[in-house]
């Protein structure tokens, strides 16, 4: 899907993992939302905005932390266009949340038209093909029938299931190698070939970097977004990628000036 963005800088951030136990990260994100309209023409959040999302109906009974995040999104979206996407933690985000916050819903994979040229954007988990157990889980929870069955349960039931799944994921990931949980190189090259693009941006792996690769003799770049953690990490982590007229550049939460 092509997304034509307004002329000007594009800011992209992912993997914030906001929740009731991340007050400092929420504070940093709200400050980020307040600052974005001053320097960016558009803002994209491709997945894992929330550490868990059990359905858009929670916005009607939002606890204080969530109400603050939704209000921040709504306020920022009145000043610049914002796109929100689904990640592996918040795959149940739908158009209802976008409508409630005045944002737009991203497809799983988007072709961005930017002043630096076309850019392929996604959350990134679809490229982690070596993690077979996760891909099986991803297929299951993206199934409309599974989602309908899950959403038919009460909010307390869904919360309990999400907590159980999260605990199981932590346990399973502790036994996996970092290589298995990273992207599969063949999948990355296939994406470059099928789209014909030469710049890719994704999150999910929590390994911020710029990777230069050759695909069929063509120079390509894969930019990986950082995750955010201002509550449990020392030093804190977080930042965003800006697509500007002269190229792409990372900005860090602790050093937000241009490097």
89 is in an annotated binding site: yes
d(C-alpha 162, C-alpha 26), whole Å:
20
44 Rama class: left (phi>0) / alpha (psi -120 to 50) / beta: beta
Q: Is 258 annotated as a binding residue?
A: no
Which H or E run includes 215? strand 209-215
Residues 50, 37: Cα–Cα separation, whole Å: 22
204 is in an annotated binding site: yes
List the beta bridge partners of residue 105. Answer: 84
2 annotated binding-site participant: no
Q: Which residues contact 8 (CB under 8 A, 6 or more apart)?
A: 40, 41, 42, 115
Q: How far is Cα 22 from Cα 232, in angstroms, rounded to an integer?
A: 8
State yes or no: 173 annotated in a binding site: yes
131 assigned ligand-binding residue: yes
| 19: region left, alpha or beta (phi > 0 left; psi from -120 to 50 alpha) | beta
Sign, Cα dihedral of 8, 77, 104, 140: positive
Give the DSSP H or E segment for 180: none
Annotated binding residues for Mn(2+): 15, 17, 48, 88, 123, 204, 206
Annotated binding residues: 15, 17, 48, 88-89, 123, 131, 169, 173, 176, 204, 206
Annotated binding residues for substrate: 88-89, 131, 169, 173, 176, 204
């Amino acid at each position: 899907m092509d997304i034509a963005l307004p002329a000007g800088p594009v800011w992209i951030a992912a993997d914030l993992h906001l929740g009731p136990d991340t007050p400092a990260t929420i504070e940093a994100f709200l400050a980020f939302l307040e600052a974005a309209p001053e320097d960016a023409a558009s803002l994209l959040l491709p997945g894992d905005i929330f550490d868990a999302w059990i359905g858009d109906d929670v916005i009607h009974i939002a606890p204080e932390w969530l109400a603050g995040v939704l209000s921040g999104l709504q306020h920022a979206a009145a000043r610049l266009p914002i796109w929100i996407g689904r990640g592996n933690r918040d795959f149940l985000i739908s158009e209802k949340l976008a409508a409630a916050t005045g944002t737009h819903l991203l497809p799983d994979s988007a072709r961005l038209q930017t002043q630096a040229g076309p850019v392929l954007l996604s959350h990134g988990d679809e490229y982690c093909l070596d993690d077979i157990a996760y891909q099986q889980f991803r297929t299951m929870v993206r199934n409309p029938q599974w989602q309908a069955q899950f959403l038919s349960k009460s909010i307390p039931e869904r919360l309990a299931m999400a907590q159980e799944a999260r605990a199981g994921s932590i346990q399973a990931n502790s036994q996996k190698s970092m290589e298995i949980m990273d992207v599969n190189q063949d999948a990355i090259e296939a994406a470059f070939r099928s789209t014909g693009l030469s710049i890719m941006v994704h999150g999910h792996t929590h390994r911020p970097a710029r990777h230069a690769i050759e695909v069929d003799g063509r120079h390509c770049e894969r930019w990986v977004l950082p995750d955010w953690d201002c509550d449990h990490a020392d030093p804190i982590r977080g930042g965003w990628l800006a697509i500007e007229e002269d190229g792409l550049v990372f900005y860090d939460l602790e050093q937000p000036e241009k490097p």
